[in-house]
Amino acid sequence: MSMPIRGLVFFLCLTGIAIAQKEAGSDALKTEAEVAYQNGDFPRCIEITDRLLLGNPTDHGALYLRAVSHVEVGVFRRNAQELRKGIEDARASLKLSESLKLNEVNYYVPYLHGMTALANLEGRKESAESVIKVATSLLERKTLTSEQRANVLYQRAGAFVHLRDLEAAIQDYQAAIQSFPGHLGSHVGLAEVYVVRQQTEKALAAFSVAVETFSGNPLVFNNRGLFLQQKNRLNEAMVDFDKALQLDPQFAVAYTNRGVTQQAAGNLLAAEVDFTEAIKLDSANPVFLLLRGNCRLSRGNAAGAIDDYGQSIRIDPRNSVAFGDLGFAKFFSGDFAGSLEAFNQAIALDASIRYLNPWRCWVSVLLKNSDEQLALVKTLDKKPAADRDWNDQLVLFLIGKNSEQDLVNSVVKATDSNSSLRDPQLCEAYYFIAKRRSDAGDNTNAIAFYQQALKMKCVHLSAYRGAQFALKSFPTAPWERQMTESTVSLFRTGPDFWTQ
C-alpha cells in the first residue's frame, strides 16, 4: 500500500527528479523497484532494493531509491532511525557516483531532505545548518540544469523554514519557481510559508497559482482546501477537496481533510463516512482511526470510538493523545476503572498533557481511589497559589477545596487578558459543577449546568461531549440547529444557579 505522502504539508517533491538510470542488463526486479518508487509505495521499494543490493552492493541507483524511500518512510512515521538509514544510503550513493565521475546532483536530494526532516524531528538546528551549507555549495555549480537548481533551492528553503528564517525561505522558493516554473514543491512551500507568516492574501494567491499551474494535480486542491478550512471558509474548502478526490479517488488524506471539514460544519455522519473511506484506503494509519473515533464519540457512539482508539493504539502504542481519547470514551461509557488506566497511561507517555488531571481526579473520586487523589493533592501543595493554572483550579474544586463560585471566579481572573479562553473554561466549569451536583443527588440543577456547558458551543472540548452524553443529546444535523427555545431560556438564567 502506498503511503499518503502527497497529502502532507512538507513533502519531498519528486517531480522532475531523474530516477537512477538502469544499468545495462538490469533485471525485472529493478524495474519493479522503480515502479514502487514512482507509485509512492516506499516500504515495498525498500524491500526490493534490499534484495538488489544484497546481490550488488555497489548499485548506486538502488542505493538512491532506497535512500529516498527510507527518508519518506521516516518523514511519514516521524522515525529518526528511518531518516538516518536514508541519509546513510544517500551518502553511499553519492560516494559511488563520485567515484564513477557521474556527479549525479539528484543523489543529494534524499540527503538534504533527510537532514532537514531530522532537524524538524529532533530540534537540532545543526542538521538544518548542514543542509544550507551543502545546498549553497551545490548552487555554485555552473553545470546545474534549471530543474536541478530548483530542487536544491527547494531543499535549502526547507532548512531555512526550520531555522525560522522565513524571508530566506520565500526567496529560495521564488528563485526555484523562476528557475523551473513547474516545480510543484516550491509552489506549495511558498504558500505554506505565507500561511506561517499569517499573510493570508499572499498565501491564498500562491495556492491559487499552484492550482492554475497544476490543474490536474490533486495535491494542490487538497492543500488549498486545507488552508480554506483553517480560515473557516468551509464551503470553498469542500469544493477543493471534492476536486482533489475527483482527480484521485484513492487520495486518503483528502478524504480525512474533507471529513474534518464536514465535522466542523456539523455534518457528522458525512464526516464519519469520509474517515471510513480513508481507513479503507490506509487501514494502518493511526491518525485516520483517531479522527473517526473522535467523530463517533461526537455522535454518541462510545463503543465505536473505543474500538477505533484501541486499533490506533495497537498501531502506535506510544501515542499519548490516543490513550487520552480512549480514557474519555471509556469515561463516557461508564468504564471508570478503564478510563483511569488509559488516562494514567497517557500521562506516563507525556507528562505535559495536564488537561487530563481534572478527569483523573474526578474518576478517582468516583472510584474512591484515595491514593490517586492524594498524589494529585501533593503535587498541588508544592505549587504556590499564584502558579496554579486552570487545570489546578478544577482539581481543587473536584476534591472540595474550592466552591462553585471560586471556580467561576478563577475563570474570570484567568481570562482577563485572553478572552478566547473564557468560553472553553466556562464550559469545563459548568460541566464539572454539573458532575458534582449530580453526584450529590441534585439532578435538576445538574441538568441545568450541563445545558449551560453546551451553550458555550466548544464542540471540540471533552467537557462539551460529556454534557452531550449526560443529556443524551447528540446532533443529527449541524449542532447549531439543535438549540431549542426552551434551552436558550435556561441559558439566560446564568450565575443564579449557584445560589440554588
pLDDT profile of the chain (500 residues), mean per 10: 36 37 61 90 94 92 94 91 96 89 86 96 94 97 94 97 97 98 96 96 97 96 96 97 97 97 95 98 94 97 98 95 98 97 96 94 92 81 86 93 92 67 94 97 97 95 97 69 30 31
Torsion, CA 413, CA 416, CA 418, CA 419, rounded to 10:
100
- Predicted pLDDT of residue 418: 67
Backbone angles phi and psi of 148, in degrees to 5: -60, -40
- Predicted pLDDT of residue 369: 87
Q: Where are the alpha helices (DSSP H) in 1-56?
A: 28-38, 42-55
Q: The C-alpha cell of 181 is what? A: 516554473
Separation CA 386–CA 475 (nearest Å): 40
- Predicted pLDDT of residue 371: 83
Residue 101 identity? K
Please answer whether residues 365 and 389 qualify as being in contact, where contact means their C-beta atoms are separated by less than 8 angstroms: no
Separation CA 296–CA 469 (nearest Å): 12
Q: The C-alpha cell of 104 is what? A: 549525479
Separation CA 129–CA 126 (nearest Å): 5
- Predicted pLDDT of residue 13: 39
Please answer whether residues 61 and 20 qualify as being in contact, where contact means their C-beta atoms are separated by less than 8 angstroms: yes
Tens of pLDDT, residue by residue over 88-145, are 999 999 999 888 777 788 899 999 999 999 999 999 999 999 999 999 999 999 999 9
Separation CA 342–CA 329 (nearest Å): 10
- Predicted pLDDT of residue 39: 85
- Predicted pLDDT of residue 376: 83
Please answer whether residues 139 and 159 qualify as being in contact, where contact means their C-beta atoms are separated by less than 8 angstroms: no
Tens of pLDDT, residue by residue over 177-218, are 999 999 999 999 999 999 999 999 999 999 999 999 999 999
